[in-house]
Structure 1
Amino acid sequence: MNLREYADRDMLAIDVANMLAGELETALLHHDTVSLAVPGGTTPGPIFDVLCAADLEWDRVHVLPTDERCVPLGNDRSNARLIAERLLVNRAAKARFLPLYEPADDPTDGLTVRGERITALRPLSVLMLGMGSDMHTASLFPGMPGLAAALDAHAPAVTIAQPETQPETRVTLTAPVLNGALSKHLVIFGPDKRAVLERAMTLPPEEAPIAAVLDGITVHWAE
């Protein structure tokens, strides 16, 4: 794990966006298409605002969420909505978006097909993650039903997550897909999150799911 500290969040957003763009550009030199998996929530928006203007061959980039809440696209809690409004604009509007959830009565509808699409992209080229104060990442929550299966090395690419602490059912990439990304970045803010990460480093993934993806990751931190 490599820790990078920043004087403020604005500097972090610019640096992380430039780093992601550089890694995508390098990957494009060696592959016809590349993949970028990103989180939702409040943390990545400013990074997206910078990254979307990067001078890349975005039409060769597959963008996907690390996880998704099973809510309509217009819902404020939709990760796809955040990505559409903050990342898939400007030059990045040419990127191909791969959703993890399509509105349906049953969240499992189409799960196999979406899993096959993700499997075809493995290993992911570039991954950015966030982390909750409970040490969850993507939608891998401590104590949730099915967590052990989602952490298993032979887990399918995507799975349904139904954490009891959250109001919605979710679809999430599993630990082997996340941990297998060629380049991994974790963005966290504030002393509390840093303390949570330090504690997670001492715990097994079953108690701290973020621990399942820390091998070789670059952590970006600002107050």
Structure 2
Amino acid sequence: MDFKTYPDRDVLMLAVADKIASQLRATLATEGRATLSVPGGTTPGPIFDILSDLELDWQNVVIVLNDERWVPTTSERSNTRLLRERLLVNKAASATLLPLYVNAPDPDERLDALSENLRPNLPISVLLLGMGTDMHTASLFPGADKLKTALDDEAPELMALRADAAGEPRITMTARVLKDAMHTHILITGNEKKAAIEAAQSLPVEQAPVRCVLNNATVHWAE
């Protein structure tokens, strides 16, 4: 784990956005296409705002969430809605958004179709993850109903998981997909999350699912 500390959150957001853009440009130059995977939630919002205004070959960039709550995209809890409002705007409006939600009562019914859409866009070129104080990342929550399978190297690309801490059912990339990313960044703020990610290094992965990506990740932190 490469741990980088920043003097404040504004500097953190600018630096991470710049690093992501640089890695996307390098991938586009060599591959002609790139896949960017990002978390939902409010913390990465400023990074999305910065990225959306940068000159980049966005029409050859595919954007996909790490995970999604199984709620309509009109819901205030929809991560897809957040991306459409803050990332897929301005210059980044020409990027392609791969959905992780379709209108169906149960995510398990649509996993195969969503995985088929995702598969041609793997491995992820640049992966941005968040982490909860419970050491979950994406929707790999400690105590989730199918966590052991989702952490396995033979897991499918996407799984539907349910956990008390998650609220709604979630669809999430599995550990195998996250670990295969070319560049991995974890964004955290505050002392509680700093302590959590330090503790995660010595805990079993089922207790601290974020550990599955720590070996190859750069952690970006500001108080």
- TM > 0.5 fold call: yes
Aligned to 1:215: 215
TM-score using structure 1 length:
0.98
Structure 1 residues 44-63: aligned runs within 5 Å? 44-63=44-63
Deviation string 1:73-119 (CA, Å, 9 cap, x unpaired) is 11111110111111001110000000111121222232102112222
Aligned pairs for 1:131-170 within 5 A: 131-170=131-170
Matched, 1:92 2:92: yes
Q: Where in structure 1 are there 5+ consecutive unaligned residues? A: none
Q: Which runs of 5+ in 2 are unaligned?
A: none
Asked if 1:110 is matched to 2:99, the reply is no
Indicate the SS of the match to 1:29: helix
Where do 1:158-197 residues align within 5 Å? Answer: 158-197=158-197
2: CA distance, partners of 1:152 / 1:64: 22
Partner of 1:3: 3
Distance 1:193 1:62 in 2: 29
Tell me how far apart the structure 1 counterparts of residues 15 and 196 of structure 2 sit (CA, whole Å): 23
Whichever residue aligns with residue 174 of structure 1, its letter is T
Alpha-carbon distance between aligned partners in 1 of 2:184 and 2:48, rounded to the nearest angstrom: 16
Q: How many residues align?
A: 223
What residue is the counterpart of 2:73 in the other structure?
73
**Equivalences for 1:112-127 in 2 at 5 Å?**
112-127=112-127
Letter matched to residue 208 of structure 2: A
Secondary structure at the aligned position of 2:109 is classed as coil
Query: Percent identical across equivalent pairs?
Result: 48
TM-score, with structure 2 as normaliser: 0.98
